[in-house]
Structure 1
């Protein structure tokens, strides 16, 4: 057991997210696996990251790519064996890299032994491990289409599933369920893992009234968030989890917190709360939604983005909490497509700019696999190319009930489908981008011949080396971890400017979010001696700033002011 030492090492860390199914296949079956990740540890070490977050690696029917778990103590066979995992963990630790796992305990697979027992009869001791109703109590719709309530003839009842019908929700009000979860935590922590990312953890406590939810985003059903997000006992349960398990280990925890405001997050992450180290919020992910929600053509408005980042910084600082910083993950589109410019002219430069804007903020940055080489959306042109349960449901719903054309729906999927971030990691110009010798489970992005890790690590001007420098600066400069954040020029729709200030050091961060060249009046916002350039995505950036500097397209400039 790794004893708790309160080192808060995660504040200095940079996390790299690995989507195991798409990272590296070692045996030619078309699926990434644990031994493939092991092969690529030197690459991650070279990048300089500290922590690897693995998406679920447990046994699963893979209805929702592993977020439907049938056995929490068994490795998904397509990923390898427990011996493979032990070897990966040992090798990572030997290299100074930590590993955190994805904890998915809002729900299980319907193939989990608990649920197989639960649906046999109402008298079965496992029946109360899940949430059952004699009648459908509300209008809630599942995240993946249809009602959240599924009928089981054997017991004459409906069970709750916020996600796919194959993902029944656990009944956290049952203390036996909570103890089962804590035993699972101990099993993995005693193996020596370094923490957990907790899937939709803010949804585990349901409002016992099961109220109807508002119908939003032109959906067919009501939203379940009103009755599930930050429910009546969620803090009580997380504090119990922390008290009984988490506090006894020197680990990091980050909770996925859908529909959680910055004010609510203070209760999850506050220094004196005894719950989680940080949460993943979605406020910046919702900024480009339209009347149909996520699947929209909008671009994020920079002033809105600045407002979100600033609010979260202020609220986390006020409660002694901590921010998680991310542009993308396995549930989101590729960062450079969504927030930057994926054109050949500006892909690299805008990817570096996005890295600068995020990594200079206070919090723990998360790099999603491929982000460090500027990977883009996949742009599949037919629905048969998609694999994600959400994408397939959206296509059916938009072309059917909503009356969208197939062409328009495909355009929306090209922009926002989760499969965009799940295409295989692009390692080289070899067949299938060096991901597999077999047939990949999902198609490789066609641009792998020009965007790949092999080319990036040979090019000192690549996105990879720029990210490596950003990680290195975070390790070396306490002001990036500890300095106070101050937003400047809040109403500027094109430029994001802020300070990071400690007692003896100040950083000025300027990021141009457009393809325009801008004559920027720095002197209007900073009254200080001239700073010295710390990092920029342009080689010819001014070494000192004057009253005004020329910001090149997607230019990023960080000045150190002594």
Structure 2
């Protein structure tokens, strides 16, 4: 069980309104109490922060806003003392435009060895669009164009260049030597581009959209990426202990994603098709069945996830009408989710997910039932998506708001002052950790109980067997645990002789499972 920490929003030790590494270290006991096994840290490297640190200027350092390398070492040591493993983010598709390599490339000029490390062309070669909106090509003063599938401050590296490959082997070893337990690999599906850089006339979303079934975009999921990860696997396998590689690969169908977790490549790959699945019995059954079958074919576990720093928190996403495509951000003028319904479904979805065999990831604050902050004033938004789409897409700021620890403290205990790099909504007070710890039925205590039972019963290593159930009801067994989720309006009966262990919502007066609830029973 892995817990994602978004460093700038987890805990602020010095009162500047931005979370940092000492703040994380001071809050590690929360993760122990919650019951997770490992922590994944989003980027903390030196960066101009054009994309919240995913524009890396130096892969072997720590940005001063987060602390120092000494602070990183202290965090690793403190985690190790508590039995927590640490996974760090690695961003190989692109660097910052302030990286020494890119600055040298701009200065050196056309045809130079320095430019060969990136994707430069004398003329704009195609119609590709940035994931953040607008063209994916930007012109430098001497007239050449460079590729950036994300922000212009994130130039794409040329992974056909041997120096690029060698540099990242060195980066892997740098952090492995400092004691990290693995890497979450950002945009793992994007490193290799189709050689002819062909035009692309469909949406640029990393997951192929309607009408693109069976068609792979020329910028995503090219077969050449797998050779890179086989070389990385050899590096991590040479270190003692169980070091891991985790792919952030927005790839479909499930069989294409499974290629990333073949025995000599990555250990895990986030199942985003599962994250995107609608809240219906048929959609959930289909994606679970498909995912487990695809990963079993390569001997790998499935990696389940419901929220992260790039998507609307599932406590709000599931509060939108069933069948709504996932928005890329929600603003005050947009249709608002029903946060009561959303939290109810989120609790049910989490119990469903945590009962599935495989690995699972949690995103900071979901254990508190935090909703998306949907009313952030536009003038304080920082996501480049908002700027590059002229506000058409609100972006990801709403899921990145600093989390609440203490209801009555400044910045809800995020830091020692009221400063917060994004404003926190007033509802944070009632959802703060100190308002939920020890409270029966709270979302926090539900997560603690679920994680304890998941570990005790070995659910992650189990096997799923579907059980017969009425329409709109999903039921299965994992070992001797019976799991039932009711998506329909009619209350569902538990099979005779079963005793509930954990419920996401109270059963009705007749012991039946109400709508939008999950029960674990034995």
Structure-2 change in CA distance of 1:439 and 1:549 (3 Å): closer
Structure-2 change in CA distance of 1:161 and 1:85 (3 Å): same
Query: Corresponding residue for 2:324?
Result: none
Deviation for aligned residue 1:81:
0.7
Deviation for aligned residue 1:357:
0.7
CA contact (8 A) 1:16 1:367 kept: yes
User: Aligned pair 1:68/2:55, yes or no?
Assistant: yes
User: Aligned pair 1:322/2:301, yes or no?
Assistant: yes
Equivalent residue of 1:114, what SS?
A: helix
User: Aligned pair 1:235/2:226, yes or no?
Assistant: yes
Structure 1 portions without partners, runs of 5+: 1-13, 289-299, 399-408, 524-528, 543-547
Q: Distance in 2 between matches of 1:18 and 1:485?
A: 29
Paired residue total: 495
Give the one of 378, 392, 396 matched to 2:387. Answer: 392
Give the one of 374, 379, 382 matched to 1:379. Answer: 374
Residues 157-210 of structure 1 show CA distances to partners (whole Å, capped at 9, x for unaligned) of: 211110001100111101111010010000000100110110011110111011
Query: Corresponding residue for 1:19?
Result: 6
Equivalent residue of 1:519, what SS?
A: coil
For the aligned residue pairs, the C-alpha RMSD in angstroms reads 2.5
Give the one of 385, 397, 418 matched to 1:419. Answer: 397
Q: Distance in 2 between matches of 1:92 and 1:384?
A: 38
Question: Mapping of 1:203-218 within 5 angstroms?
Answer: 203-216=190-203
Deviation for aligned residue 1:144:
1.2
CA contact (8 A) 1:383 1:392 kept: no
Q: Distance in 1 between matches of 2:307 and 2:137?
A: 31
Structure 2 portions without partners, runs of 5+: 321-336
Equivalent residue of 2:444, what SS?
A: helix
Query: Corresponding residue for 1:186?
Result: 173
Question: Mapping of 1:111-510 within 5 angstroms?
Answer: 111-120=98-107, 121-122=109-110, 124-154=112-142, 156-216=143-203, 226-249=217-240, 250-271=242-263, 274-287=264-277, 300-339=279-318, 349-380=344-375, 382-396=377-391, 398=392, 413=394, 417-429=395-407, 430-436=409-415, 437-478=417-458, 480-488=459-467, 492=471, 494-500=472-478, 505-510=479-484
Structure-2 change in CA distance of 1:244 and 1:234 (3 Å): same
Deviation for aligned residue 1:243:
2.0
Q: Distance in 1 between matches of 2:293 and 2:502?
A: 25
Structure-2 change in CA distance of 1:208 and 1:532 (3 Å): same
Deviation for aligned residue 1:286:
4.1
CA contact (8 A) 2:236 2:244 kept: no
Query: Corresponding residue for 1:403?
Result: none
Tell me the TM-score normalised to structure 1 length. Answer: 0.83
CA contact (8 A) 2:262 2:299 kept: yes
Give the one of 27, 32, 38 matched to 1:40. Answer: 27
Tell me the TM-score normalised to structure 2 length. Answer: 0.89
Equivalent residue of 2:266, what SS?
A: coil
Structure-2 change in CA distance of 1:347 and 1:210 (3 Å): closer
CA contact (8 A) 2:376 2:398 kept: no
Query: Corresponding residue for 1:530?
Result: 497
Q: Distance in 1 between matches of 2:48 and 2:188?
A: 22
